[in-house]
Structure 1
Amino acid sequence: MGHTEPASEVREAVPLPAGKWKRLAVLLQGVGILFLAGSFAGAWWHPKEFFHSWLFSFFFFFSLCSGALFWVLLHYVTNAGWGVVVRRQAENLASLFPWVALFFLPILWDAFRGHHLYEWTSPALAHDPALLAKSAYLNLPFFGIRAIFYFAFWILAARFFWNSSRLQDSDRDPWRTVRMQKFSYGLLVVYGACMTFAAIDWLMGLDFRWSSTLWGGFVLVAAAGASLALWILIILWLRERHHLPQVNEEHLHLMGKLLFAFTALWAYFAFSQYMLIWYANVPEETYFFIRRNFGSWNWLAIGLVLGRFFVPFLLLLPQWTKRNPRTLALAAGWVLWMQAVELYWLILPGVFEKAVAIGWLEIAVWAGMGCLMAGAFLRRLLSCELYPLHDPRLQESVEVIS
């Protein structure tokens, strides 16, 4: 990548109309509270379905925030200049981690009191030989401590980058960029460890007898790809409304190439995990796929292979589709949708064992969390500039050639 000469002028971002979008944010969050309140009422009649639906929705929105933090960290670790004008929206997404932590509380309560999600938390299995062999890790106090550490790290790291970038808009201090870059190296290592163990705790822990050595990387790559897809959609939305005139086809092309790369990387992790388990043919490992290869769950698995990889891969393969806002939005929207489908396939067989089913609880919980997160994100948009005004590499980003 290079940049053109002479330097092109950095056009100012057009701010969103505050009154209109504040009202929409309040409305969305009000609707979200109503949806979640209704879903809590359903928990009395169908507690197992409720908590699995809650975990599905929680992990979907968690993956979007955690993936956004990954992209912010990667931006500084690689010293990338091209993404300065689009980075702020990834920072805004990552800064929503306090909401994600709030959504985790019912899951934590169920682990200690309800025992509808994680079989290993039930006192009835206290003397199970398979559980006793893993009891040093799978015990409730340590489970809670790990969760507190994960969220403390994610919230503080995301807040550090969001605050530093926003403060640079006013004080014009270029050393803030240097400090963020220095911190990013160590933080990315801790981030990778937290993501790996969170994936083990919250998803692999649904069946404590099953394990996969590739699970952490598989979940991280899926989250990064889904978050990138949402990031692209936000940038396209702001650009279409003329709020980000600095974003051009070069930025779209680069983000499209990243989406293409992470689509292929997801396929690599998914195939490697499946191939190793199939080749080893260990009953404790193959059970994960066997229970998802019956009836409509099997058709959904085939749909994941086609939809999560082949559709976006072929759609993003030509150069022109990555430069065209409509086709890029189609690919990004599809990847985001397939992230939800994949998480449903991973989590909901614990409730709907015989066939795929979608009840009102799944819809209410997902819609409730989605409205709350959308409202919180709109508030973030209104609280800061739409791009880093005084980042020392802003000009390089505006002039980028992919």
Structure 2
Amino acid sequence: MYQFYKKKKKILVFIIIIVGFIFVFLDKIFQDHNPSCTVLYISIFYFTSISLGTLFFLGVQNISKSGWSVIIHPIMEEISSFIPYGCFMILIFLLLNAMDIVHIFHWMNSDLYNPISLKYDKIIANKKLFLNIPFFLIRSTIYVLLYSFFYLNIKKLSYKLYISYSLSDYKKLYNRSVIFVIFFSIISIFMIWDWIMSLNPHWFSTLFSWYVLSSFIITGISTITIVAIYLNNIGHFPLFNKNHLHDLSKYLFSGSLLWTYLWFSQFLLYWYGNIPEEIIYFIKREEIYNSIHFWMLIPNFLIPFFGLISSKSKSNYKIVFLVSLILLIGHYIDIYNLIAPDINSGVEFCIFEIIGFLLIIGGGFIYILFSNFNKRKFDSSTSEGNPFFQESKNYKYPYM
């Protein structure tokens, strides 16, 4: 059995994390202008969103009874393994903010609700029924507990199915996936309102949650693709071939189009309406980051569009790997752009700190992912118990 986590690989991951701390330290020495907690929060949210998007994609595959994807289900399950850790770290951030130790969520300042205070904000005060610390923390705790429950339950049922080969276990997995997809489609809207949109309580968008959710899905599929190609490249995932890669590429291609459609829909409505309370969202980002809101269309739309529009390109390992990596970078910029400008008066784009926290949290993400592969004794036949395994094993895209 191939061991993912030999001693050398463990050392490499720890080196990545240590290098991340060095980058953060260098940033504090040469560019001490941002509170580190902001970029740390963005990095944690980013990797958590990858895991959430992956679990959602897995749920969709289960309830649609897609045969082609069965051999990569174990990869999806293990990429989702960061959910309990990431959600717990976010919850810690929210608690620290509620205790006035960290200052990310501006609306948690009690003076904003006091009519006799000089900081009184009528707009925020009118939202007190929803934006109040106890209710906010209760909602967030529910998100964390339920996301973790569904992840652990779906993974447990999948593992049981892979051993038992039982149709009754498959039906349980199917039913649980249906419940999760319905739950996630609804509850993620509130989570995104709470964990991102409430950073600027003066602004709101009815499209915002769907826009962010599309980013979750794309980063999840990109990570699935990168991991699958890597495992195949080291000879540990031989059943994965160009036919499966082609279908993953189609999801990447269509997902980037969906994200772009929602991006354009939101921008077009605000530009057409020209309402000051709404367009401030774009104006602020244009002033702080020199119109990065438009520049990020290059990695998130143009490159995947032209890179994957050809059927031949969709089955090219190198092209798909590169496009997936670019999408991960592009959507980190998107998440950064969603969060950073709304904290205090805006957070400057500091490359040392960004790379540092990406390496720290990303190193932890990789450690958890491949440690779980090891514990599971993962190989290409792990999903044999699924009734669609043979279909996935022999899958051929009809037009290749």
Query: Is TM-score (shorter-chain normalized) higher than 0.5?
Result: yes
Deviations 1:349-398 (A, max 9, x none): 24696895315433322211111111111101112233312211100111
Match of 1:10 in 2: none
Specify whether residues 286 and 54 from structure 1 end up closer, same or farther in structure 2 by C-alpha distance, changes over 3 A only. Answer: same
**Residues 318-349 of structure 1: CA deviation (Å, up to 9, x unaligned):** 00011110111111111111011111222222
Aligned-residue Cα RMSD (Å) equals: 2.6
Contact 1:164 1:176 in 2 (8 A): yes
8 A Cα contact 1:292 1:349, kept in partner: yes
8 A contact 1:25–1:376 mirrored in 2: no
**For residue 94 of structure 1, what is the aligned residue in structure 2?**
80
Distance in 2 (alpha carbons) for counterparts of 1:146 and 1:155: 14
CA distance in 2, matches of 1:139, 1:107: 12
Contact 1:36–1:369 (Cα < 8 Å) also in 2: no
Q: Does the aligned pair in 2 maintain the 1:25–1:378 contact within 8 Å?
A: no
Residues 34 and 248 of structure 1, relative CA distance in 2, 3 Å threshold: closer
| Counterpart residue number, 1:126 | 113
- State the SS of the aligned residue for 1:251: helix
Q: Distance in 1 between matches of 2:58 and 2:158?
A: 11
**Is 1:390 the counterpart of 2:385 in the alignment?**
yes
1:57 aligned residue:
43
Structure 1 residues 33-72: aligned runs within 5 Å: 35=20, 49-72=35-58
The equivalences for 1:3-402 within 5 A come to 15-17=1-3, 20=6, 24-25=9-10, 28=13, 32=17, 35=20, 49-104=35-90, 105-114=92-101, 116-127=103-114, 128-294=121-287, 296-298=289-291, 300-350=292-342, 357-358=349-350, 360-384=352-376, 385-386=378-379, 387-402=382-397
Q: Distance in 2 between matches of 1:112 and 1:172?
A: 50
Q: How many pairs are equivalent?
A: 386
Letter in structure 2 aligned against 1:207: N
Q: State the shift of 1:178 in Å.
A: 1.4
Deviations 1:45-82 (A, max 9, x none): 96962121122101210110110111111011211111
Verify the 8 A CA contact 2:106 2:344 in the aligned structure 1: no
Q: Structure 2-normalised TM-score? A: 0.89
In 1, distance between residues paired with 2:270 and 2:112? Answer: 26
Separation of aligned partners in 1, 2:326 and 2:319:
10
Higher RCO (CA-CA < 8 Å; seq separation 6+) = 1
Aligned pair in 2 of structure 1 residues 31, 103: CA closer, same or farther (>3 Å)? farther
Range that drifts further, 163-172 or 34-43: 34-43
Alignment check: 8 A CA contact 2:106 2:343 kept: no
CA distance in 2, matches of 1:360, 1:351: 19
Deviations 1:180-222, CA, capped at 9 Å, x for gaps: 1112222211111221111111111111000000011000001
Conserved 8 A contact 2:104-2:343 = no
Q: 1:282 Cα deviation (Å)?
A: 1.8
Whether the 8 Å CA contact 2:17–2:364 is kept in 1: the answer is yes
Partners in 2 of 1:130 and 1:296 — Cα distance?
A: 27
**Higher alpha-carbon deviation: 245-254 or 94-103:** 94-103
> What is the CA–CA distance in structure 2 between the aligned matches of 1:287 and 1:144, rounded to whole Å?
28
> How far 1:42 sits from its partner (Å)?
8.7
The CA deviation at 1:170 is: 2.5
| CA displacement, residues 70-114 of structure 1 (integer Å, 9 cap, x when unaligned) | 111101121111100011111111122121023211343124323
Stretch of structure 1 that moved more, 105-114 or 155-164: 105-114
The 8 Å contact of residues 81 and 396 in structure 1, kept in 2 or not, is answered as yes
> In the alignment, residue 28 of structure 1 is paired with which amino acid?
V
Q: Indicate how the Cα distance of structure 1 residues 325 and 53 shifts in structure 2: closer, same or farther if over 3 A, else same.
A: same
In 1, distance between residues paired with 2:142 and 2:293?
Answer: 34
Q: Which shows bigger deviation, 349-358 or 280-289?
A: 349-358
Question: Using the alignment, how far apart are the partners of 1:259 and 1:119 within structure 2?
Answer: 36
Q: CA deviation at 1:25?
A: 3.6
How far apart, in 2, do the equivalents of 1:39 and 1:295 lie? 22
Matched-pair identity in %: 23
Aligned to 1:284, the other structure's residue is in SS state helix
Secondary structure, aligned partner of 1:95: helix
Deviations 1:142-196 (CA, angstroms, capped at 9, x unpaired) = 1111111111111111111111212223333232211111122222111112211
Counterpart of 2:285 in 1: which secondary structure?
Answer: coil
- Mapped to 2, the partners of 1:174 and 1:223 lie a distance apart of 31
8 Å CA contact 1:25–1:379 kept in 2: the answer is no
Q: Is the 8 A contact 1:84 1:388 kept in 2?
A: yes
- In structure 2, the CA distance between the partners of 1:126 and 1:352, relative to structure 1 (3 Å rule), is closer
Mapped to 2, the partners of 1:363 and 1:305 lie a distance apart of 21
